Chain A
């Protein structure tokens, strides 16, 4: 009986401590302590993360020589195809520049970019996020899109502290980005994450033709996210006759598991 009474008292004492901590957190009164803890954890997390990425880079394994040969042949084929695309792209770029000059058409992106190092990723089961070393001191704000490499969309800033920010990746199950498929119909839809393991584009009208390999970019319909950021390519198509929409499974352009440097697009 005494044990039960003590248990109840202890449970309530602990619950009150937790409740007070939560209230103090949301009121911002323990922010200095939280920032101090983050300043200790972040560098170590960054070191461990970069070590894990470099270890992961050298861990690609093949089960047989045939598999390696096949992967090599595929890469050669892709490389040849990309060289052709590159030549075509260069021709189109030159042509486009010439036409712009002739039309007196000026485009200038006034957006700024903050280059950031990835210093950690999520450890909870529900999300797919990364931690970057740039925050509100560098102009980063909640809602800013984040890109990797030559402009591959990887996610959106969801929390911005003074020195760090958390980016929700496009494969997070809470991520939603309006997108366009570069097909004949320029189909629009919504790119959504799925539990950190995949990305899919939903709400594509059933009557529009999409093909495997089609490129998907941002449509500009999501607030703060500019048009034309590449998201990935169509890997598979799910089409049910009785559904009004079809779905495309996307292979993201950026390798979301080994991000090292990213850029936050800051609208000016």
Chain B
């Protein structure tokens, strides 16, 4: 009897030693795994505000719903419940639940309340993950500028991509101990690493100006039966982009339905031949270099032959005496070519670079193009005819808007910017540094060219850009498009108008570009678009009208 007891106790003791000493570590780990949960805490992505603090993009907690098809017991019934709760198609959920494998997402970015009601059903094989979902509360407002985020919350395009590291923040984790019923054990393991939310961005965009610019652009595209269009509104003194839109656009809240062609911010990434709006560079260079006297009258025919190639003005006219002011006001191609020849290739080409062509603006926007400008050494004989009138050179709309902003800013080029400030995790607002700037032409030259541009709107090709009560300066542009195969020019045009207001004390620069409008002339197609946007921007920013500038010397009687 004693022996049996001794053997029994000996066995128990041996087992105890095995459990408590030899296998203790393994069992400890097993027990810990059963009661300790390591929960990743995703960081909240930073909000994107407009310049007045209105939300343009924001993130809210959401949940991903996934399944382990191996553990799903009744796929038909479960797929019905899941589809009803999450608003999905039962057939597609069923396909996923029966598709094999051990992990399949059923839905991403699910509203927390909907996910909770599904979780409460405790369906076998169905799991949940914390994540966040990006919302764009104003819908299709500046979608190509803001960009988009991927399903995993990372920026894929636009400012969402450019500022990914700032917006993303840093994830945290929480380690807790639970009892078998899922209740947290007090004083158990409790490691807390709170997530650090991403910085917020305060953009330079103004939500109201952006909206009105988009409404005007969409309406102008429709009215002119154009293929698309781009508008930019800039503050010429700070480089702040107040609005930027490319039509057609998309709703970033329904990214899956978007046409991939509409995702890019063409105002920054795509180039076009600017046409006559480029003449402002020729005029500014000529004034700065004293290549032409302001009172000097040039005899301008309606066509000129260079290296066997004819160049025409837009409309036939007898040879006429024109000053530089007339040439710009009436957008004479022949006159501009004559001025460029007086300037000479070396001096003229240097101003193209000074005004920021052939290099990115430095805004840092993803995919920004530098434009296309052949080096002066590679110019042909006719380049001194085509480039001064804006053909044979390609620019982004933003580059060209910056050229006019330079004139509006008294000859100083300012780097455009999209972000005014950031807001750190501590709520501190940190202003973005002022934009880089450089003098391109003297204040005097900028003033003279402004008078010419104001005269162009007053009596020249840009009369449809006039704003009642304000004095506007600007220039029309009509450029033939290069054929898709690059072999020459077709019969399709880009019409544009770029200008600023008020002419005497510029507050906004507006670039309006229409792609393939039925009426090719910039003064007819794009100037009214400029007018509508500039008029609203001036009103929104409460800009006083300013005084009228004296007309530049002219040989053609006004009117």
**A and B co-occur in one complex:** no
